[in-house]
Amino acid sequence: MPDHRKVDLLVIGAGMAGLTAGARAVREGLSVTVVEISGDVGGSARYAGYAWTAPSHEVMDRHNPGGDASLKRALVDRFQEGIAWIRSTGVEAKDAQPILGFGQGHQFDTNHYADTCRRIIVEAGGELLLDTDTERLVLENGAVTGAVLVTGEGKRRQVRATSTLLATGGFQGDMELRNKLVHPRAGRLELRSNPHSRGAGYRLATAAGASTGLPGAGFYGHLIPSGVPFTDPSDFVDLSLYYSEHALLFNVDNERFTDETPGDHLTTMALMEQPENRGLLIADARVFRDWVVGSYVKGAVAVDKFALAARRGGRVGFAENLDELAYLPEEWGYDGPAIRAAVERFNARTAAGEEPVPGRRLDRAPLDEPPYYVIEAVPALTFPFHGVRIDDRARVLGEDGEPVEGLLAAGSDTGGLWYRAYAGGIASALVFGLTAAHTATLRATPWGRRGPG
């Protein structure tokens, strides 16, 4: 099995992080090979459209207190450099706008960006291998020096590299890892992601001695209507019940169990812990008018998510007034009168200026404007927060806390940045993809090899 190529940077995975790193690296004069297991580049980034994160360290710490301090700081500090990089490729990134009430981000065409990065890599002489799997990393004296690849035709080849970047997009496509590392029932979740991210980076890294993030870190996802499978990537946005932060969510025991208002990317994790992992989402006319049929963020296409769920056969209901909530279909498994009484209690407390139970940090307005819109919701998984540990230079850390020489990671393969909290996956992939390219550039130079790390 001869070495077909010796490169400065081998990138395993051609999603947001991998393409960003590859394009930046060839612009820095590095030789690059990019390997992708699927037949096209882009991964789940093609379904996005925004790069956003917390605008300051204070906001990041408030919303993500359990995340690694150095990674959080790097993300906030380097985010605008990432936006400048996107613009430098010729892809438009629009002016900043608020996201999720606490974040700030930029809308851009992620499809255009993925295709532009591919062009930059190929035109600079970089090698792009599609439909190619990575069998194992090559280790020499404890350092990663490349990888053994398997093409779609079953041929093996070895690529030697000064630096190897893992950017395979996480392990959400692998049922075994989901159940083991996310939640014992995570395997039943609808996959809100490309199907090719099946833990390749995680397995390659741990086999090379990498350490992984804290258990119980959670996952990023959104609530979706129950019984409505995704049929197209556009469903990842159209079926996500973003407005749930303004509604009320009840479990099958007819109880509110969490503060809905920080956003359904957090409520999703809370619902995962509830009996049967399903719940009843209730909105009134105000929430329907202002949020259900409105754009989640400025510039996004507005979709009537209630009507769409109804057309697709989801469990949806309409009540002219609170009394009609008592007539929920018995086969749904909820107690209609108990749900009605719970909404009445919530309305009475909030109308009186009292704190509901559980409390609500943000939207505390009562749901007292009929009619009422009811959707049964379940969690959907986009990517896990558990992953390979890195430092703020995108170097993979071993069990001893020291970098594994020659091995980098970025994007959803990594863990530690988020702990049951979230402030932008595309932003993280962008920033640490650029960081990995910078680290690889230093390693590719005589000074970089002599310097620290």
Q: What is the pLDDT of residues 58-107, one digit of tens each?
A: 999 999 999 999 999 999 999 999 999 999 999 999 999 998 789 999 99
CA pair distance 84, 102, nearest whole angstrom: 22
Note if the pTM is more than 0.75.
Answer: yes
Q: What is the mean pLDDT of the chain?
A: 93
Task: Identify which of 122, 130, 126, 127 has the alpha carbon closest to the alpha carbon of residue 152.
Answer: 130
Q: Give the mean pLDDT of 115-142.
A: 97
CA pair distance 282, 161, nearest whole angstrom: 54
For the stretch 162-190, pLDDT in tens is 999 999 999 999 999 999 999 999 988 99
pLDDT interval class at 19 (50, 70, 90):
very high
Specify whether the CB–CB gap between 118 and 24 falls below 8 A: no
Specify whether the CB–CB gap between 223 and 247 falls below 8 A: no
CA pair distance 189, 175, nearest whole angstrom: 10
Ordered by where they begin, the domains of the chain are 3-216+385-450 (3.50.50.60), 220-381 (3.90.700.10)
Is residue 407 left, alpha or beta, with left meaning phi > 0 and alpha meaning psi from -120 to 50? beta
Helix, strand and coil in the chain, % to nearest 5: 35, 25, 40
Asked if pLDDT for residue 294 goes beyond 80, the answer is no
CA pair distance 181, 170, nearest whole angstrom: 12
For 124-133, 295-304, 343-352, 357-366, which range has the lowest pLDDT when averaged over its residues? 295-304
Residue 450: the pLDDT is 36
Q: Give the mean pLDDT of 390-410.
A: 97
- 283 alpha carbon, distance to own chain's centre: 26
Q: Give the mean pLDDT of 271-296.
A: 91
Asked if pLDDT for residue 326 goes beyond 90, the answer is yes
CA pair distance 335, 152, nearest whole angstrom: 54
Residue 1: the pLDDT is 55
Residue 5: the pLDDT is 80
CA pair distance 10, 33, nearest whole angstrom: 5
Report CA torsion sign: 283, 285, 287, 292. positive
pLDDT interval class at 452 (50, 70, 90):
very low
Of residues 360 and 1, the one with the higher pLDDT is 360
330 pairs with which residues across the strands?
none
Residues near 205 by Cβ (< 8 Å), separated by ≥ 6? 166, 388, 396, 404, 407, 409, 413
Task: Identify which of 13, 14, 9 has the alpha carbon closest to the alpha carbon of residue 33.
Answer: 9
Asked if pLDDT for residue 224 goes beyond 90, the answer is yes
For the stretch 261-283, pLDDT in tens is 988 889 999 999 999 999 999 99
Asked if pLDDT for residue 46 goes beyond 90, the answer is no
